[in-house]
Structure 1
Amino acid sequence: MYRPLATSAMALILGAGPLLADVTPNEVWQNLRDGYEQMGYQVRVGSEEGSGDRLTLTDVVLTAEEETASDMTLTLPRIDLAATGDGAVRSVVEGQMVLQMRDTDPEGEEVGMTLTLDAPGNETLSSGTADEMQHSFVMPTLVLEGRALDDTNEVPVTATLTNVEGTQTTATAADGSATQTYQGSADMLEMQVSATGPAATMPEDEATGDAAPEGGADATAPADGDTDTAIDSFDATVRISDLTLEGEGTSPAGEITFGNQPAAALEAGASGAGRFAMGAIAGSFTSATTGLEGEDATASGEFTAASGALAVSMSAEGLTYEGSATDMATQMTSSGMPFPISYAAALNSFRLAMPVVASEEEQPFALRYALEGLTLDDAIWQALDPEAALPRDPASLTLDLDGQTILSQNFMDPTFADGTQTGPDGQPQMPFLPRSLSINDLSLDAVGASVQMSGDLTFGDDPSQPVGTITGLFSGIDTLLDSLAAMGVVPQDQLMAPRMMMAMFARPVEGNPDQLQTEIEFREGGSVFANGQQIQ
């Protein structure tokens, strides 16, 4: 059975939570082991020593089942569990943990990474009863060092979390189902990426027009002993302060879990939700590349944000994924640009909601995006509009859609994105079949002009022939065209064409000559009318 790496990692990490609670070290470990095996993982222990109040495990290895296409192995060199004498169990992971993930992409190439984790001073205290336990953990530092599986490029990543702490509470019902809540925090996350690899320069014989040597030439693979091969590099640093994480989850009773049968687990009642908040964010990067013809290029930049947030939830009702960042600013320079690029925005946010379990019934979906207070640096304006003909007020963009759709294939099905599902006629079938769409708000406000659109559409078996009406209000368009003509962007003698086009789709608002309105009507059979006149 195919299992994506992300799904496996989530199940492996979150699956430990409900099983860390019991009254003795042996019972804690046995419950932990049983839980991983129920999730579809094999557990091997090099040695197991102790009994009663103490238990020491060495060379603990968790792997995905052999028949899975993806492969993940988590190695913990040593786990010490000891009763504290007051009904709690203290667990410590000693040594460096290693997480290896391997998979095959659609082109048949092996992908993955190796990640080492060091958590000196880590400690988890589990207390309560077998049916309801609380686990409190602390890690003064957590250092992660990773390297992608790549025979050509070097992509090492290092991340350090400081003052990590949190709690997790689990409860097991009489039928075997479990619920959990968790919360955690870290003072700071610092991450560095330093990637290098051979540049994609053009082979000398190809650049000069000479015939390539027999067997061809690989521009990206240096010959043995060739020390003059051009190397591309990329270095980045990110700092995030005041991280917090909270969430909850539910696991159904039985052998079906999100790790081995995600769709069935969701239908049985599995659910999860997590919220991740960040304080100040700051980062920088530099890059150096060599082009196909040997030309060198460099770039550098910095970015900041006052705060950020991410949230995700999944259940049989659907998947939601949303995030936001506030008070963002970006500056970038490049040898290929005549001037630095600098821009800022007050808010950037998004939200996606969609069904994940296939059903013949209609299910809701939604998509929202907002960009508010976008401003450009004076250097950009000077290049685009040296005479200051255009207003430079902050720009904004809003997209707010929702509707109903039929999902004919489980979203967690590994063939969902392959396009291999076929209908009764043997033809490829889209897993999403829209039934209705509401454009609650589609608006753009920039350079003195604005657009606002809304409407409702319904769909039959042919999504290309909707039925419904979309209305729009346009402001400042005529003034913007005059400004563009004054700037020389649009020749004065060519203004007639866009104005005639607008007249076909829009009409002036009574009493306000600088505003236009339109009503686009989609009718049965595929005909389209603009302001009552048929255009298709």
Structure 2
Amino acid sequence: MNFLKNMGWTVPATLAISSTTAFADVTPEDVWALWQDYLTSSGYEVSADTSTSGNVLIVDNLTLSMDHGEDMGGFSAQMGTMTFSDNKDGTVQIGFADNMPLTMSMTDGEEPLDLSMVVSYIGLDMVASGVPTNQKYDFTADNMKLALTEVVVDGEAVENASFSMDFAGSKGTSSLAIAGDMIETMQAMTSGAITFTGAFSEPGEGSMNVSGNFADTMLSTSASLPITEEPSSDPLAMFYGGMQGTTKFTSGVSTVSLSGQDNDGPFQMDVSAASNALEFDMDSDHIRYDTGAESIAMTMFGGGIPFPLSFEMASTSTNFEMPLSRTETPAPFALGVTFADLSVPEMLWGMIDPTGQLPHDPATVSINIGGTATLFGDLLSEDVMESDDIPGEVNTVTVENLLLRIAGAELTGAGAATLDNTDLTTFDGMPRPEGSLSLKLVGGNKLLDTLVGMGLVPEDQAMGARMMMGLFAIPTGDDQLESTLEINAEGHILANGQRIQ
């Protein structure tokens, strides 16, 4: 959530690196010059009116614009006055108006979008130090607020639309440094709480209100950009020129509420969590992200739901990784999803199991898959994106974890396989795998018997399921089945050592 850049004042608190360099002197002109280098290298065309009054450099009418190319539209932002004051001790005080206007215009070749906002500060203190090519920024603010004042779509003002975001007690450090032919930025900041509210309505269509709060937030970012003298309209040239970035975000207790009215009537949804975490990094070689939350609770009603529902979950997480560039050797990929200890209301259980024959214990679903793959070209390049050919091949697949626990039964598994992409005949056009998958099922027969007794599963279908389990699994304990499925080098499929194909 690089909000400072996205909301238009861009550099002051999003440029970053905690540097151990011994800082010397920096002037207002040095700070403004490095900011312009950074913005240009980020792809923006920069224009502004500058003047000097005593020891203060004044930057007025700052405009940032970016052309995304034919049929892709563009972006521009206009900001109010900024000041850079020489403190006479080698540092520079950076100032903004207490209520700074910000306008943003975006086009995508169809409907232009114009946004007008006000960025407000209480108790903002920002000081730059360092040397011309390696600058550090320390900042604190009692309060920062972004308020949307107008939305215009295709020349027409949108009525009944509002949004505001408030940051309480923010502080942090950031820096901007030139390293060879790259500009490096880093940031580390904390905020006591982030709150937001928004509303939207459209006659005849309905209305929506949203609000939320994230307590004890921490954000860190880092990025490297290739230095350019002219802004580029080709983001891929920047991307494959060495651009990279990372983001980490954590928060304490969070709440989000969504309410409104649609054709089915009023609706309401409330979500809360004890903690949240996000990690993201991306460069020309790969993209990766991990998310997680603890102690999640959700309630909802209306909007076509006949009665209120509530859910609780101990934790949830997702992870994703994949290569993006041509690889000489196999590169890792991963995909994982976990929903741990999901509890549903007894009212919902009562609709499925009114006599309470099934265990109503919390359910868990978790799967983590990894492996390696080879890309034949840069995945985001125009040639690959416009081609109908498959851009790569999967070399290995690993089921690192499989867990399904519900209604008293539990299925677990793990396995790995290597794919022979030169053999496309054994499995009719698919690469031939070689490897194994081990599975274990506990409580499966009891669950099946209960479902038959409840009339949810016909007896003939249950018999077919038992025959399949008998074919592929062996008993290893009280209502416990295990199975090892293998595909050998000859392409034979075996279950527990017995060939089945």
1:336–1:271 Cα change, 3 Å = closer
The DSSP-based 3-state class of the residue aligned with 1:87 is coil
How many angstroms apart in 2 are the aligned matches of 1:269 and 1:415?
20
Contact 1:189 1:239 in 2 (8 A): yes
Give the match for residue 20 of structure 2.
none
Which of 154, 162, 173 is 1:167 aligned to?
173
Cα distance, 1:53 vs. partner? 2.0
In structure 2, what is the equivalent of residue 517 of structure 1? 482
Partners of 1:453 and 1:101 lie apart in 2 by: 52
Which residues of structure 1 form unaligned runs of 5+? 1-5, 199-229, 291-295, 422-427
How many residues align structurally?
477
CA distance in 1, matches of 2:230, 2:376: 22
Q: Is 1:80 aligned to 2:46, yes or no? A: no
- CA distance in structure 2 between the partners assigned to 1:55 and 1:532 by the alignment: 79
State yes or no: 1:500 paired with 2:473. no
CA contact (8 A) 1:445 1:451 kept: yes
Query: What residue in structure 2 maps to residue 44 of structure 1?
Result: 47
Correspondence for 2:147 among 145, 148, 152: 145
Identify if the C-alpha distance between structure 1 residues 524 and 9 changes in structure 2 by more than 3 Å, giving closer, same or farther: farther
Separation (CA, whole Å) in 1 of partners of 2:163 and 2:69: 30
1:235 alignment partner in structure 2: 209
Give the C-alpha shift of residue 335 in structure 1. 5.8
* CA deviation map 1:392-415 (0-9, x unaligned): 222212211111112234344468
The one-letter amino acid paired with 1:118 is V
CA RMSD of aligned residues (A): 3.3
Q: Matched residues in 2 for 1:286 and 1:118: separation? A: 26
Is 1:279 the counterpart of 2:252? The answer is yes
2:268 is aligned to 300
Label 1:345 to 1:483 Cα distance change in 2 as closer, same or farther (>3 A): same
2:138 match: 136
Alpha carbons of 1:39 and 1:494: their partners in 2 closer, same or farther (altered >3 Å)?
closer
Contact 1:133 1:169 in 2 (8 A): yes
Shift of residue 138, structure 1, vs aligned partner: 2.7
2:36 aligned counterpart, secondary structure? helix
Contact 1:11 1:39 in 2 (8 A): no
Correspondent of 2:353 among 348, 360, 385:
385
Shift of 1:330: 0.6
Residue 117 of structure 1 deviates from its aligned partner by 4.0
* 1:387 Cα offset (Å): 1.1
Aligned equivalents of 2:105, 2:177: Cα separation in 1: 31
1:305, 1:489 → 2: CA distance? 35
Identity of matched residues, %: 24
Q: CA deviation at 1:64?
A: 0.6
Partners of 2:316 and 2:268 in 1: CA distance = 23
8 Å contact kept, 1:74–1:97: no
Q: CA distance change for structure 1 residues 297 and 533 in 2, over 3 Å: closer, same or farther?
A: farther
Task: Go from structure 1 to structure 2 and tell me whether the alpha carbon gap of 1:534 and 1:193 turns closer, same or farther (over 3 Å shift).
Answer: farther
Distance verdict in 2 for CA 1:18–1:384, change over 3 Å:
closer
**TM-score using structure 2 length:** 0.84
What letter corresponds to residue 254 of structure 2 in structure 1? I
Gaps of 5+ in 2: 18-22
Structure 1 pair 387/273, CA: closer, same or farther in 2 (3 Å)? Answer: same
1:488: Cα distance to partner? 1.8
Amino acid at match of 2:190: S
Judging changes above 3 Å, is the alpha-carbon distance between structure 1 residues 525 and 260 closer, same or farther for their aligned structure 2 residues?
farther
TM (norm. structure 1) is 0.79
Give the counterpart of 2:34 among 26, 31, 34: 31
Report deviation, 1:339. 2.8
In structure 2, relative to structure 1, the CA distance for the partners of 1:96 and 1:131 (3 Å cut) is closer
Change in Cα spacing, 1:71 to 1:9, as seen in structure 2 (3 Å) is farther
CA-to-partner distance for each residue in 1:137-186, whole Å, 9 max, x for gaps?
2333332234584878965432222222211133434x343433321111
- The answer for the alignment partner of 2:369 in structure 1 is 401
Task: Determine the C-alpha separation between the residues in 2 that align with 1:478 and 1:260.
Answer: 62
Quote how far apart the aligned CAs of 1:473 are: 1.1
**What is the rounded CA distance, in whole Å, between the counterparts of 1:270 and 1:361 in structure 2?**
22
In structure 2, what residue type is equivalent to 1:445? R
Q: Deviations over 1:305-358 (max 9, x none)?
A: 111011111235522211111001111112633332111111111111221222
Distance 1:272 1:480, change over 3 A: same
97, 100, 105: which one pairs with 2:104? 100
Contact 1:467 1:521 in 2 (8 A): no
1:436 paired residue among 396, 399, 410: 396
Once residues 525 and 197 of structure 1 are traced to their aligned partners in structure 2, the CA distance between those partners, rounded to angstroms, is: 63
- Report the equivalent of 1:158: 164
Shift of 1:429: 1.8
Instruction: Give runs of aligned pairs for residues 154-233 of structure 1, distance below 5 A.
Output: 156-173=162-179, 175-197=180-202, 230-233=204-207
1:230-287 CA-to-partner distances (Å, cap 9, x unmatched) read 3322212111111111233334556699x76665656655432221111111122223
User: What letter corresponds to residue 283 of structure 1 in structure 2?
Assistant: V
2-side partners of 1:372 and 1:438: how far apart? 21
Partner of 2:413: 453
Which residue pairs with 2:318 in the alignment?
A: 350
Q: 1:285 to 1:519 in 2, by over 3 A?
A: same
* Cα separation, 2, equivalents of 1:111 and 1:401: 42
What secondary structure, in the 3-state scheme, does the structure 2 residue paired with 1:464 have?
coil
Instruction: Give yes or no for contact 1:256–1:264 (8 Å, CA) kept in 2.
Output: no
Is structure 2 residue 435 aligned with structure 1 residue 490? no
Q: Which has the higher strand share?
A: 2
Quote the Cα distance in structure 2 between the aligned partners of 1:531 and 1:111.
62
Residue identity in the other structure for 2:475: V
Amino acid in the other structure paired with 1:84: N
Tell me if structure 2 keeps the 8 A contact 1:274–1:311: yes
**Residue by residue, what CA displacement relative to the aligned partner does 1:426-468 show, whole Å, maximum 9, x if unpaired?**
xx12334211111111111111111112211222435834412
1:473 to 416, 434, 440: 440
Contact persistence 1:339–1:379 (CA under 8 A): no
